[in-house]
Structure 1
Amino acid sequence: MLTSALAFAGVAALINITPGLDTLLVLRTSVSQGRSAGLASALGILAGCVVWGVATAVGLTALLTASRFAYDALRIAGAAYLVWLGASALWRSGKVAAGGSAGVERVVVEEGARGRWAAFRAGVGTNLLNPKAGVFYMSLIPQFTPHGESVFTMTLLLTAIDIVELAVWYWVVSGAASALADRLRRPAFRRRMEQVSGIAFFGFAVNLLADRGKAA
């Protein structure tokens, strides 16, 4: 069991630090709303991982990937949510461009008023509306479950390892992003960040819509 857990930890670490949607969300939120909001979005992502891990342990993710309708419904909902996030980011970039330094401060104040709860919801949404997260747990964890071990116990153990690694990674990302926030909140940098984030969210949405081969 220990050998399998260590092997999984190594593979999961490589996957977790690969730039992706969740890391982008934590990075952007930390810059625009501060580290506390960035960590709140990270907590939402981790909560989603807990749900996927438990669902995998009891076999629900297998039902998701076996059902074309369920997979496609979740995939389309996730893509729509990402389009909304992308459009929101581009809209904010326009406000920054129109208002200059005052526009930056106005956007920061408006986003700060939404609070950490909104950031947490965004983290939960991006994770739970992404069926690839469920496929990740269902396809990877069984490869590190030794023969004869309890599938339920090993799934929860490996999920816990993945969540701890993600928590550390998001802590580092949010700290680095908030440390650079003062510079990135200058109009030119902030506008560019919102534009890049918006385009990236659209790209993730397109990628999710194009992913039609995971369900049976």
Structure 2
Amino acid sequence: MTLPHATLGFSLLCLGMALSPGPNMIYLTSRSISQGPAAGLTSLAGTALGFVVYALLAAFGVTALLFAVPLAYDVLRFGGALYLGWLAWQALKPGGHSPFAPRELPKDSRRKLVTMGFMTNLLNPKAALLYLSLLPQFIDPAAGHVLAQSLLLCAIQIAISMLVNGSVVVLAGSISGFLARRPAWLRLQRWFMGSVLGGLAVHMATQARSR
């Protein structure tokens, strides 16, 4: 089975990635503020399904095949970089908004909320790269039970992501109210988020293949 230090290291990595702003957090926060925490949690169920798809693909080696095909990897890498760059521009452009800034969004059904959450996560470059390039580094074939190791690490990642994003969904209204009363903090948060997303986009577009 997975060694304890590998499990701890992977857990800390997943926590850091979950806490960093990304497409999932932006979508869930916006939905929670506009339609309420219940809608945010329903959307969160959709993102969980997206992680399950990635987990199964990673566990059964399909993602390893994708990672081995240069063109497929580059399409994923540049597509993800463009998506993150677009999100960064939305935050940094004149008149841009923070995900914690209240705004009107259409009231969607539970089915649509789950579907949108699922698609947001399925197209999330952070999730794709986590399973494509980072998870395999914490699996030790010499320890045996590679499938069991993969499933265990995937379960840990999903649990951490759901805990972090679920907390953001529940607290989104309070955070939004706090920032709304403090415009300087809202601008600082928006610029911080945009800068992080922009940095991730540049890093993703310029990073070399690790394999």
How does the TM-score come out when normalised to structure 2?
0.73
Q: Is contact 1:78–1:126 with CA below 8 Å preserved after alignment?
A: yes
Are the structure 2 counterparts of residues 47 and 206 from structure 1 closer, same or farther at C-alpha, using a change threshold of 3 Å? farther
SS of alignment partner, residue 210 of structure 2 = coil
Q: Is contact 2:18–2:160 with CA below 8 Å preserved after alignment?
A: no
Q: Is contact 2:44–2:162 with CA below 8 Å preserved after alignment?
A: yes
Alpha-carbon distance in structure 1 between the residues aligned to 2:45 and 2:18: 15
**Structure 1 residue corresponding to 2:140, chosen from 140, 143, 167:** 143
Query: Does residue 1:166 correspond to 2:180, yes or no?
Result: no
SS of alignment partner, residue 57 of structure 2 = helix
Larger helix proportion, structure 1 or 2?
1
One-letter amino acid matched to 2:202: V
Give the RMSD, CA atoms, in angstroms.
3.4
Q: In the TM superposition, what are the counterparts of 1:203-214 in structure 2 within 5 Å?
A: 203-214=199-210
Residue 99 of structure 1 is matched in structure 2 by: none
Q: Is contact 1:75–1:209 with CA below 8 Å preserved after alignment?
A: yes
How does the TM-score come out when normalised to structure 1?
0.71
Query: Does residue 1:180 correspond to 2:175, yes or no?
Result: yes
Alpha-carbon distance in structure 1 between the residues aligned to 2:127 and 2:11: 22
Q: Any gaps of 5 or more consecutive residues in structure 2?
A: none
Residue 94 of structure 1 is matched in structure 2 by: 95
Alpha-carbon distance in structure 2 between the residues aligned to 1:113 and 1:90: 27
Q: Is contact 1:65–1:71 with CA below 8 Å preserved after alignment?
A: yes
Q: For structure 1, which segment, 156-165 or 184-193, has the greater mean C-alpha deviation from structure 2 after superposition?
A: 184-193
Alpha-carbon distance in structure 2 between the residues aligned to 1:135 and 1:58: 15
**Structure 2 residue corresponding to 1:83, chosen from 85, 89, 107:** 85
Q: In the TM superposition, what are the counterparts of 1:41-120 in structure 2 within 5 Å?
A: 42-91=44-93, 94=95, 108-110=103-105, 113=107, 116=113, 118=116, 120=118
Shift in Å at residue 31 of structure 1?
4.8
Residue 14 of structure 2 is matched in structure 1 by: 16
Shift in Å at residue 158 of structure 1?
2.9
Residue 101 of structure 1 is matched in structure 2 by: none
SS of alignment partner, residue 47 of structure 1 = helix
| Residues 103-151 of structure 1 deviation map (CA, whole Å, 9 limit, x = unaligned) | x55xx114x65784545533332247743431122222x227722x3x3
Shift in Å at residue 44 of structure 1?
4.7
SS of alignment partner, residue 94 of structure 1 = coil
Q: Is contact 2:18–2:161 with CA below 8 Å preserved after alignment?
A: no
Equivalenced residues, count: 199
Shift in Å at residue 95 of structure 1?
5.6
SS of alignment partner, residue 214 of structure 1 = coil
One-letter amino acid matched to 2:52: V
Q: For structure 1, which segment, 24-33 or 51-60, has the greater mean C-alpha deviation from structure 2 after superposition?
A: 24-33
Q: Any gaps of 5 or more consecutive residues in structure 1?
A: 97-103
Are the structure 2 counterparts of residues 73 and 55 from structure 1 closer, same or farther at C-alpha, using a change threshold of 3 Å? same
Are the structure 2 counterparts of residues 173 and 16 from structure 1 closer, same or farther at C-alpha, using a change threshold of 3 Å? farther
Q: Is contact 2:63–2:131 with CA below 8 Å preserved after alignment?
A: no
Alpha-carbon distance in structure 2 between the residues aligned to 1:6 and 1:95: 44
Alpha-carbon distance in structure 2 between the residues aligned to 1:183 and 1:125: 31
Percentage of pairs with the same residue: 25
Are the structure 2 counterparts of residues 135 and 6 from structure 1 closer, same or farther at C-alpha, using a change threshold of 3 Å? same
